[in-house]
């Protein structure tokens, strides 16, 4: 465990928030998330302190991504790793079904491989289920880059819990009944409409009628099987 006594109180608060956020969401917060949670209005001030934490060896940052933070513990990065990358045995992992692909971009017709039968299975750590019943957990491979600022890239795998409701700000797989399309987005209920928000600096939100929007599952965590 790295010594935190040399950090400022603000830096310790930022580090604690990042740790708690990753534990709760399975991916890192954005700079704006950090500022809001720690009472820092200036994103440049947040960025300055993040760089201090990087220099002190507590964090690593990935370029060109607003959620490109990785905690460093005992000299190793903590983040999204598959069971194969962690080297854990099968007894320490769970095997969950994967039902094909989901598009992180403009909604598209339901892919042929996103049916009722799993196309594959993937091994995950029990902690990635966030306490959910394993029988209610499933996975999809992401196509597209509309969620790139949530550290979800083309080819990544999202682990979801089956549910048909969502709270504002949750990342969900959504079926758009009127057009028979599916997409992966942040969910916001605005009363007379649902806002499906991408996590991409150049993409606009999608607005749909609540009657035509069916939540299929909430994202619990994300993993990348390739190095």
Domain 9-78 grouped into CATH 1.20.1740.10:
no
Per-residue model confidence as pLDDT tens digits over 18-62? 988 887 777 778 888 899 999 998 888 988 999 899 999 988 876
For 196, residues 6+ apart whose C-beta sits below 8 A from its C-beta are 174, 183, 185, 186, 187, 188, 205, 206, 207, 208, 213
Could you tell me the pLDDT band of residue 116, with boundaries at 50, 70 and 90?
low
What is the rounded average pLDDT for all residues in the chain? 81
- Is residue 225 within 8 A of residue 157, CB to CB? The reply is yes
Of 136, 184, 176, give the one whose Cα is nearest residue 158: 184
φ/ψ region of 175 (left if φ > 0, alpha if ψ in -120 to 50, else beta) reads beta
Q: What percent of the chain has pLDDT over 90?
A: 32
Per-residue model confidence as pLDDT tens digits over 54-94? 999 988 876 545 566 778 875 545 544 444 443 334 447 88
Asked if the model's pLDDT at residue 226 lies above 60, the reply is: no
* Active-site annotation holds for 52: no
pLDDT at 89: 42
Q: Where are the domains of the chain?
A: 9-78, 84-223
The reply to whether domains 9-78 and 84-223 share a CATH topology is no
Q: Pick the catalytic residue: 24, 66, 81, 185?
A: 185
144 is written with which tokens?
A: 């597209």
The pTM score is 0.60
pLDDT at 60: 83
The strands making up 69-73's β-sheet, listed across from edge to edge, are 59-61, 69-73, 76-78
CA dist 60 and 190 (Å) reads 36
Per-residue model confidence as pLDDT tens digits over 124-178? 888 888 888 988 999 988 988 888 888 788 888 899 999 999 999 999 999 988 7
CA dist 165 and 128 (Å) reads 20
* Active-site annotation holds for 185: yes
Domain 84-223: CATH class, spelled out: mainly beta
Q: What percent of the chain has pLDDT over 70?
A: 79
Q: Pick the catalytic residue: 66, 82, 146, 221?
A: 146
């Amino acid at each position: 465990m790295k010594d935190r006594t040399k950090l400022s109180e603000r830096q310790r608060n930022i580090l604690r928030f990042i740790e708690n956020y990753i534990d709760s969401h399975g991916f890192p917060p954005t700079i704006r998330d950090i500022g809001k949670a720690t009472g820092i209005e200036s994103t440049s001030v947040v960025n300055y302190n993040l760089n201090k934490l990087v220099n002190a060896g507590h964090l690593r940052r990935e370029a060109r991504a607003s959620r490109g933070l990785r905690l460093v513990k005992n000299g190793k990065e903590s983040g999204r790793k598959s069971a194969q990358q962690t080297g854990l045995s099968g007894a320490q992992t769970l095997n969950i079904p994967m039902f094909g692909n989901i598009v992180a971009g403009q909604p598209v017709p339901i892919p042929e491989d996103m049916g009722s039968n799993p196309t594959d299975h993937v091994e995950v750590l029990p902690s990635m289920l966030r306490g959910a019943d394993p029988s209610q957990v499933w996975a999809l491979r992401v196509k597209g880059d509309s969620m790139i600022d949530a550290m979800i890239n083309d080819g990544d795998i999202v682990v979801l819990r089956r549910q048909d409701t969502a709270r504002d700000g949750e990342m969900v797989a959504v079926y758009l009944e009127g057009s028979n399309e599916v997409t992966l987005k942040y969910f916001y209920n605005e009363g007379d409409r649902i806002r499906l928000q991408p996590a991409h600096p150049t993409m606009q939100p999608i607005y749909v009628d609540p009657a035509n929007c069916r939540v299929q599952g909430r994202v619990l965590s994300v993993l990348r099987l390739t190095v």
